[in-house]
Amino acid sequence: MAKLSMRFEIRKDKLNQEGKAPISCMISVSQKRKRISVEKSLHPVNWDNSTQRAIHISKTQHSKLKLGLKHTDLLMGSDVDQINSLLDKMQSRLNFIETRFRLNDQLYTVDDIYNTYLAECPSTGIKSTENQIQKPPTVPEFIDTYIERNRASRAKRSLCVYSQLKNHLVAYEEWSRSKVEFESIGLSFFEEFQSFLIEERTTINNNTIAKQLSTLKTLLNYARKHGIEMNQSYRDFTIKRQKLEVITLTEREFKLLKEADLKGVRRHIKARDIFIFLCATSMRYSDYAQFKREHIKGNTIRLTMKKGNKPWEIPLNPESIAILEKYQDMAEPLPKISNQKLSKYIREVCEVAKINEPIEIIRYRGSEPIVNIYPKHQLISSHTGRKTFCTLSLERGASVETVMKWSGHESYASFKRYVNLSRSHSISEMERIWGKTELMKVV
């Protein structure tokens, strides 16, 4: 389905006697365009083409520009705010009109958007008669629109979270016998919805609940920016997150993995090679899946990360080069295995390597702790490779800034979730900084 695009601009070809240009909004659908007058005008110097908004010119700026106009002829700060507020409302209203067409599965043209806007918003106002303004969608209905709009730009896995949220909201509607509407989804709703997830959706724990609540907040912010009016007290709701365990391989375990006798089992050998490569490059599975020979540039790998579409470059090292050389006769730089199978095979390899330290995992459902103990090999996945890279790089002496550059992390807050410095490293660093200690004698 075609999408609405819009651009605010000033008509320099329509200057009035005072030298002011009228503002208009150019809307387009499938390369067909219509112009909507905003019924506001200003001097061109008060307009910024890049932001498509009015700007204030200070007295200092005015004197430098030598415009041939008095400063009092230009917009005051309050005038700028008023105009920009009007443009924001107009943009939100147009987006909302498009959303209604999408929710009703209606094909639409630029004329449909244009005529609907003029019918609902004559001049700069909005008619308030109930028979002219359709009721906004419920929150579960709007999720379908969000998924459709973002299908091309978001990873499938990230959109699955929104589908899960819709399922929970629909279940809540059945349980509460009331629709989840934007105007009623404030702070009190979040508190009740959280209680519903804890008490009625008993298969999910607090971390999953926190993720669902965070996703709902993101959705509401998106809807608000697209013109849907709502109770904004939801923004005061605080989401509590449990700090999760960081599972990585230690130096000893990494050595055990590399030296394990896999008895010639090909799926295990390939999976180990891929996992070692991930441990040596910090690569995510999504980037391994798109990794091609053309991404190898001399002694570095350069590609655009799937997550965030960010450029990424990392130097190769002996571990990663050895794996690439092993498969140099293949068209692809590495064998390709699905993420699910790779994680499964790596767990099997780690079990062979006797990576079986008991790990206690504590999750909460409401205030009730759920405690489980697993051998470490059961907790390994393909993503453990990236976390192992970050941890071992730090333990081997690289600075935090360098490791973040290698891994592509932009904030320390997200980076620290990938690091699990070992107890032995902590002890050796204390001895290196403060000196080696004798065993304390018990008196």
Helices (H), 70-121: 77-103, 110-120
Question: 113: which 2 tokens?
Answer: 């958007």
What local confidence, expressed as pLDDT, does residue 434 receive? Answer: 64
Largest CA distance in the chain: 97
Q: Residue 141: what residue type?
A: E
CA angle 330, 259, 400 (to 5 degrees): 85
What local confidence, expressed as pLDDT, does residue 263 receive? Answer: 94
Question: 348: which 2 tokens?
Answer: 């099997």
CB 378 within 8 A of CB 356: no
Handedness of CA 204, 206, 208, 211 (dihedral sign): positive
> What is the rounded average pLDDT for all residues in the chain?
86
What local confidence, expressed as pLDDT, does residue 443 receive? Answer: 43
Q: How far, in Å, are 248, 405, 414 from residue 421 at the CA level?
A: 9, 19, 16
**What mean pLDDT is predicted for residues 25-30?**
93
Question: 118: which 2 tokens?
Answer: 């003029």
Do 139-236 and 251-431 show the same overall fold? no
- 132 has a pLDDT exceeding 50: no
Handedness of CA 431, 436, 438, 440 (dihedral sign): negative
Least confident among 20-24, 304-308, 401-405: 304-308
Instruction: Tell me how far apart the alpha carbons of residues 145 and 207 are, in angstroms, rounded to a whole number.
Output: 26
Which of residues 434 and 93 earns the better pLDDT score? 93
Domain boundaries of the chain, sorted by first residue: 4-120, 139-236, 251-431
Which of residues 287 and 59 earns the better pLDDT score? 287
Q: Does domain 139-236 have CATH number 1.10.150?
A: yes
| Phi/psi of residue 149, nearest 5 degrees | -65, -30
Instruction: Tell me how far apart the alpha carbons of residues 3 and 30 are, in angstroms, rounded to a whole number.
Output: 7
CB 43 within 8 A of CB 50: no
- Give the pLDDT band (50/70/90) at residue 435: low
Count CA atoms within 13 Å of residue 84 on its CB side. 16
Which of residues 65 and 348 earns the better pLDDT score? 348
Residue 38: count other Cβ atoms within 10 Å of its Cβ: 18
Instruction: Tell me how far apart the alpha carbons of residues 423 and 425 are, in angstroms, rounded to a whole number.
Output: 5
Question: 77: which 2 tokens?
Answer: 């700060």
pLDDT by residue (tens digit) across 326-343?
999 999 999 999 999 999
Quote the distance between the C-alpha of residue 337 and its chain's center: 26
- Residue 443 contacts by C-beta under 8 Å, 6 or more apart in sequence? none
Pick the CATH number of 251-431 from 3.40.50.10210, 3.40.250.10, 1.10.443.10, 2.60.120.620: 1.10.443.10
